[in-house]
Amino acid sequence: MKFAILGTGIMGRGWITQCAMTGHDVYCFDANPDMLAGVAGGCDKLAATAAKKFKIDEPDFVTNAAKKITTYPDKDAFIAAAKDCDVFLEVIFEDLKLKCKVLADFLPQLSDKVVFWSNTSSLDINPMAEAGGRPEQSIITHGMNPVPLMPGVEVVPGDKTSPETVEFTRQTLLDMKKAPFLAPNIPGFWVNRLLVPQMLDAVRLLEQGKIQVEDGDIGLNTSLGHPQGTFKLHDFVTAPTMLRVALQMYQASNDPRMYPPLALMRMVKNGEFGASSGTGFYDWSDPRHPKPRDLSHYVISTAEDMTDQLK
Ligand SMILES: NC(=O)c1ccc[n+]([C@@H]2O[C@H](COP(=O)([O-])OP(=O)(O)OC[C@H]3O[C@@H](n4cnc5c(N)ncnc54)[C@H](O)[C@@H]3O)[C@@H](O)[C@H]2O)c1
């Protein structure tokens, strides 16, 4: 099969690798040329990690996967290649207006048979499906990070998604060695509907000085079996993506628990994005041994602390 993938950041690279590892041709484009330039190295690394984890004993596994990937620095060349693909997957920023605008541009240029998948973590499929002009063939496939290592994929049909699209998507994902499951089209679907408020509560408790990074993660890891705890997970998701997801879920639900905490906004402002930027809740200068940071400067005890944080 042929996959066209728009957006080659953290999740885009995960999907590109998964498609390529399972023998599909992948065509990719990103508005940021630097992100596109990092695809080859990033995907080789992911494929090598997956081979190790799943004990894949094929000497040319990584190079064979790499051969399936083509990057297009030129948007028109990407659209020409994507025109008769089987699946067009969008993996761009978590911003409904942006996604709708981009889909209204790209999808009408593709053949009628192309099925549209969105990897959104929390957004409503219906406006995206309408913007792209093929609602019957539009569906969410929300993969987990890192895609080649985490089997789960939320499959979220919209109001007009056809049963054929649901079945095609489910079967294609199974063939790609994923574990698809149906989830409702509500803000955050199933996984993030439960997870995001919990992750935001953790930041709020840290902001109140009630929990430290290390204790918080040891607690969740050793008591609930969460492999990364919550703060390390924040660092893998990245602060900008968490902020976008929280804000969109807040706007869609009006639930105050979804409102992004001030510490999260400040971390984004300060470039403390997480593992990818080298600093987040942890110091990632040695990525194999991240060190929990002292974030007491983010603690808000008084009204003055709060206004100081705005500076
Ligand atoms: N980070 C996670 O753990 C995670 C997990 C599941 C789902 N998601 C979802 O996946 C999507 C992407 O998230 P990410 O973490 O990969 O973000 P990211 O910031 O790492 O990557 C997004 C990419 O989209 C590109 N982009 C933005 N606008 C574009 C446009 N108009 N045309 C082409 N490319 C464009 C950016 O240049 C960037 O490379 C979001 O919807 C997010 O909610 C993220």
Q: Which of 241, 244, 276 to mutate to test the pocket of ligand 1 (most atoms within 8 A of CB)?
A: 241
CA-closest residue to ligand 1 atom 18: 9
Q: What is the pLDDT of residue 309?
A: 74
Q: What is the spatial distance between Cα 208 and Cα 302, in angstroms, rounded to a whole number?
A: 10
Return the closest-CA partner of residue 103 out of 222, 4, 169: 4
Residue 92 Cα to ligand 1 middle (Å): 4
Question: Tokens standing for 168?
Answer: 């095609």
CATH number of 193-309: 1.10.1040.10
Q: Within 13 Å of residue 306, how many CA atoms lie on the same side as its CB?
A: 6
Beta carbons within 8 Å of 205's beta carbon, 6+ residues apart: 211, 216
Binding site membership of 7 for ligand 1 (Cβ less than 6 Å): yes
H-helix or E-strand spanning residue 271? none
* CATH number of 2-182, picked from 3.40.50.720, 3.10.300.10, 3.30.450.20, 3.40.50.1100: 3.40.50.720
- Report pLDDT for 307: 86
Mean pLDDT (10-residue bins), the chain, 311 residues: 98 98 98 97 97 94 97 97 97 96 98 97 95 98 96 98 98 97 95 96 97 97 95 96 94 94 95 96 96 95 85 73
Protein residue with least CA distance to atom 1, ligand 1: 237
Backbone angles phi, psi at 89, to 5 degrees: -115, 125
Ligand 1, from 79, 121, 124, 189: best to mutate by most atoms within 8 Å of Cβ?
121
Å from CA of 209 to ligand 1 middle: 32
Q: Which residues contact 36 (CB under 8 A, 6 or more apart)?
A: 8, 28, 29, 30, 71, 72, 73
- pLDDT, position 13: 98
For ligand 1, is residue 93 a contact (CB within 6 Å)?
yes
Q: How far is the CA of 90 from the centre of ligand 1 (A)?
A: 8
Task: Give the separation between CA 28 and CA 71, rounded to whole angstroms.
Answer: 5
241 lines ligand 1 (CB under 6 A): yes
119 pocket-lining for ligand 1 (C-beta < 6 Å) = yes
* Ligand 1 centroid distance, CA of 30 (Å): 10
Show the tokens assigned to 157: 């049909």
What per-residue confidence (pLDDT) applies to 91? 98
91 exposure class (CB count in 10 Å sphere: 0-12, 13-18, 19+): buried
Which tokens hold the place of 77?
Answer: 């060349």
For residue 154, give every residue at least 6 positions away whose Cβ sits within 8 Å of its Cβ, in sequence order, or none.
140, 141, 142, 180, 181, 182, 183, 189, 190, 191
Domain boundaries, the chain: 2-182, 193-309
In sequence order, the β-bridge partners of residue 69 are 26
For ligand 1, is residue 91 a contact (CB within 6 Å)? yes
Burial 105-130 (b: 16+ CB within 10 A, else e): ebbeebeeebbbbbbbbbbbbebbbb
Of ligand 1's atoms, which has the minimum distance to the CA of residue 101? Answer: 31
Cβ 94 under 6 angstroms from ligand 1: yes
